Structure 1
Amino acid sequence: MFSLTGAEISHFLLAMGCLLAMAHLLGFLVERVYIPRVIGEVAAGLVLGPTLLGHFFPEAFQWLFLGFPMEDKLFGLLYQFGLLMLMFCSGLKFQTHFNKEDIKITSALVIGATIPAFIVGWFAADIFNLSPYLGTADNPLALKIVIAVSIAITSIPVISKIFIDLGIMQTRFAKIVIACAGIHDILLWVALGFATSIASQGGVFTAGIAFKSIGISFGFIIGTFVVGYFLFKRMTIIKQNLLFRSSNLGYFLFIMFMLSSLAGNLHVETIFGALLAGIVAKFALPKAISERLEQGVTNISFSWFIPIYFATVGLQLDLVKHFDPLFFFGYFLFATLTQTLAVYITSRFIKQDHLTSFNLGVAINNRGGPGIVLSSVAYTAGIINQEFFAILVMLALITSWIPGTWLRIVVNKGWRLMPGDENLIPHKINEDDKIRSINQSG
């Protein structure tokens, strides 16, 4: 009970170590050519998975990742932990301080980027012939919702990393984009929760099921904010909180696991609990503690759990057998133009200049981690099949690449990101700088 043989442990550690090393190596290499790290991490799974290793050396792939009966379950467990940690980290990146003008712009962008893109995405299911991409749940309504979400979703972790790499995280532009992405995605996670709920009902859809699912999701959000804010604000830094005193990080991980478990038991996606735990911690805790928490969670998550998560996504893809490049190109153009135009038109409507509007449209059209999470959850729930899973993952990866390239051009040419960011001086810190600093101090 609760044990593996020595040979199984050794085998799993070898496979996990190879996958983790490849994820970090390819992530590092793609960053050298200004590509988001997540693309390299997923590519690690493509290299070691069915797409390359499994295609040319199928016996080696089977031996490495399916070498004993429970190995796939162990990778599945790490995959889920990585997903939870990614969402927790995303919640900790929410912005908490805005002036009235920023609130006005953010609110307009949330509405303008979500509703039109969602509506267009909804009707896209009728434009494209998507019946071949239905999953085992065989639920066209759930598939429609997933398509709409895939058009409108935005990535906090990837766009935040791009801003940090470019040294513009302190700008007004970055604050508005991250806030927009966060609020935006909460609404879309509710929609995804509804999709997985009706998929689990065996295709049965009634108004009662719809109201129940959406009501539970919003009830969970409101309850978590109210109760969680009170608990974090009043009961964290007190003498009687022995768990916090014994381990600050352990305390917050406990809260995150409990909220995720509660979400799962309420038939809300478990990742929603992790996301809300991070958001509430960011809002309720003193700045010094929330920053220390974010640093601690980031160190372990981005060193181990999150790279393994993205690499495992790559392991599940077989781009040789289950990928249609022509369909992907059409879907990519459709999704990108829809989202970018929705944001651009909204920004122009609130009297932002052309360059600012385009910058916002490109930055928000970045699906990254949440796009991959969407595809993972939808695939696991049987809403989509492996072919569409590959399409959505590739859509997330390519749309994560574009904002980094465009914003780098804007910064390097000295163009203004948006009003309020004039005379921008980027503040870049990277690992090479840290190494040089250590060598010089030594």
Structure 2
Amino acid sequence: MFSLTSAEISHFLLAMGCLLATAHLLGFLAERIFIPRVIGEVAAGLVLGPTLLGHFFPDAFQWLFLGFPTEDKLFGLLYQFGLLMLMFTSGLKFQTQFNKEDIKLTSGLVIGATIPAFIVGWFAADLFNIAPFIGSANNPLAMKIVIAISIAITSIPVISKIFNDLGIMHTRFAKIVVACAGIHDIFLWVALGFATTLASQSGVFTVSTAMSSLGTSIAFIVGTFLLGYFLFKRLTITKQNLLFRSSNLGYFLFIMFILASIAGNLHVETIFGALLAGIVAKVALPKTLSERVEQGVSNISFSWFIPIYFATVGLQLDLVRHFSLLFFIGYLLFATLTQTLAVYITSRIMKQDRFTSLNLGVAINDRGGPGIVLSSVAYTAGIINQEFFAILVMLALVTSWIPGTWLRIVVNKGWRLMPGDENLVLKYTNEEDKKWV
């Protein structure tokens, strides 16, 4: 009970070690050529998975990753842990301090970047021939929701990492983009929860099903914020909180796991519980404590769980046999133009200049981690098949690359990101240590 043989443990540790080392190595090399690290981490799975190793040396791939009956389940467990940790760290990056002007602009962008893009994505599903991409759940309605989400989603983790790498995380521009990503992704995760509920009920759609799913999601959000805020604010730093005193990080991980479990039992996606746990912790805790929690979670997450998660995503891709390049190019252009134009037009309506509007449009177009999470959840729920899973993952990767490259050009040229960021001066002691202040 609760045991593996010595040979199985040794084999799994070898496979995991190879995958983790390759993820870190390719992630590091990606950053050296100014590509987001997540692209290198997913590439590790492509190299060791069916796309390369499995294609040219199928026996080696089978031996390494499917060497004993439960090895795939062990990787599946690490994959889920990595997903939860990714969402928890995303919540901890949520922005909370804004002036009135920034609140107005952020609210406008949230509406303008979400609703139009979602609606266009919804109707676009009727233009594309989605029949070849529907998963085992055989639910076209759930598929349309996933397509709409894929057009409108934005990445907190990747765009935050890009901002940190460029030394502009403290800017007004970064604060607004991260806030937009966090708020509108909450709405989109509600839609994803509805899609997975539809898929689990064999495609049966009724008004009561819709109201029940949406009502449960909204009640979970409100309840988590109210109760979670009270718990974090009033009960965290007390002498009676023995769990917090025994381990600060252990306490917050416990809360995250409990909320994720509750979400799963309510048929709300478990990742939603992890995301809300991070947001509530960020909002309710003193700044020094929330930063300490974020640092502690990031240390363990970005060294082990999250790289394994992204690499495992790559392991599930077979770009040789299950990838339509022409369809992907068309889908990429459509998704990128739709999201960028939606943000650009909204920004112009909010009286921002053309260059600021372009910067916001490019940055909010970054789908990154959440785009990969969307593809993972939809694939696991049987909403999409393996080929469309590959399309969505590649969409997330390419749309992470574009903002990273563009914003690096903007920063290196010394161009203004947006009004309020005019006086940034680049100070550095060497080429490895640049920071905008």
The TM-score bracket by the shorter chain reads over 0.9
With over 3 angstroms needed to count, the CA separation of the structure-2 counterparts of 1:259 and 1:347, relative to structure 1, is same
Corresponding letter in the other structure for 2:419: P
3-state DSSP of counterpart to 2:318: coil
Report the Cα distance in structure 1 between the residues aligned to 2:183 and 2:34, rounded to whole angstroms: 27
**Is residue 10 of structure 1 aligned with residue 10 of structure 2?**
yes
User: Hey, what does 2:272 align to over in structure 1?
Assistant: 272
Quote the Cα distance in structure 1 between the aligned partners of 2:201 and 2:147.
19
Structure 1 segments, 4+ long, off by >6 Å, are 427-431
Change in 2 beyond 3 A, CA 1:379/1:428: farther
Deviation at 1:432, TM superposition (A): 5.7
Match of 1:226 in 2: 226
Q: Which amino acid aligns with 1:285?
A: L
Aligned partner of 2:94 in structure 1 is 94
Q: Is the 8 A contact 1:93 1:282 kept in 2?
A: yes
1:290-332 deviations in Å (ceiling 9; x for gaps):
0000000000000000000000000000000000000000000
1: CA distance between counterparts of 2:163 and 2:147? 28
Aligned position for 2:58: 58
Matched, 1:125 2:125: yes
Alignment of 1:248-397 (within 5 A): 248-397=248-397
Kindly tell me: are residues 431 and 416 of structure 1, through their superposed partners in 2, closer, same or farther at Cα, counting changes over 3 Å? closer
Encode CA deviations 1:316-369: one digit per residue, 9 max, x unaligned: 000000000000000000000000000000000010000000000000000000
Work out the CA distance in 1 between the residues paired with 2:179 and 2:221. 17
Structure 1 length normalisation: TM-score? 0.97
| CA offsets 1:380-432 (integer angstroms, 9 cap, x no match) | 00000000000000000000000011011111111110000002135789996
Aligned to 1:168: 168
Give the match's secondary structure for 1:35.
Answer: coil
Residues 1:186 and 2:186 aligned together: yes
Change (3 A) 1:427 1:177: farther
Matched letter for residue 18 of structure 1: C
**Pairing 1:107–2:104 present:** no
Root mean square deviation, CA, Å: 1.3
Q: Which residue of 2 aligns with 1:31?
A: 31
Where in structure 1 are there 5+ consecutive unaligned residues? 435-442
The amino acid of 1:231's aligned partner reads: L
The amino acid that maps onto 2:107 is: S
Residue deviations 1:101-152 (CA, integer Å, cap 9, x gap): 0000000000000000000000011111011000000000000000000000
Return the alpha-carbon distance in structure 1 between the equivalents of residues 392 and 180 of structure 2: 22
Could you tell me which residue of structure 2 aligns to residue 143 of structure 1? 143
Q: Identify if the C-alpha distance between structure 1 residues 426 and 314 changes in structure 2 by more than 3 Å, giving closer, same or farther.
A: farther
Counterparts of 1:390 and 1:49 in 2: how far apart (Å)?
13
| Residue 241 of structure 2 is aligned to residue 216 of structure 1 | no
In structure 1, what is the equivalent of residue 414 of structure 2?
414
Match of 2:177 in 1: 177
Counterpart position of 2:205? 205
* Whole-angstrom distance in 1 between the partners of 2:199 and 2:306: 27
> Any idea what the Cα deviations from partners look like across 1:231-284, whole Å, max 9, x if unmatched?
000000000000000000000000000000000000000000000000000000
Q: What amino acid maps onto 2:166 in structure 1? A: L
Partner residue in 1 for 2:81:
81
TM-score, reference length from structure 2? 0.98
Q: CA–CA distance in 1 between the matches of 2:344 and 2:165?
A: 24
* 1:368–1:407 distance in 2 versus 1, CA, 3 Å: same
Question: How far apart, CA to CA, are the structure 1 residues paired with 2:396 and 2:3?
Answer: 37
Structure 2 unaligned runs (5+)? none
- Comparing 107-116 with 418-427, greater Cα deviation is found at 418-427
SS of alignment partner, residue 95 of structure 2? coil
Q: Is the 8 A contact 1:317 1:390 kept in 2?
A: yes
CA contact (8 A) 1:167 1:429 kept: no
CA contact (8 A) 1:167 1:426 kept: no
Q: 1:431 to 1:161 in 2, by over 3 A?
A: farther
Change (3 A) 1:224 1:61: same
Q: Output the amino acid matched with 1:404.
A: G
Which amino acid in structure 2 is aligned with residue 245 of structure 1?
R
Would the aligned equivalents of 1:153 and 1:371 in 2 still touch at CA under 8 Å? Answer: yes
Instruction: Give the letter aligned to residue 25 of structure 2.
Output: L
Give, in whole Å, the separation in 1 of the partners of 2:408 and 2:358: 14
Whichever residue aligns with residue 370 of structure 1, its letter is P
Distance 1:147 1:429 in 2: 46
> Cα distance 1:122–1:427, how it changes in 2: closer, same or farther (>3 A)?
farther
Tell me, in whole angstroms, the C-alpha distance in 2 between the residues paired with 1:425 and 1:3: 57
Equivalences, count:
434
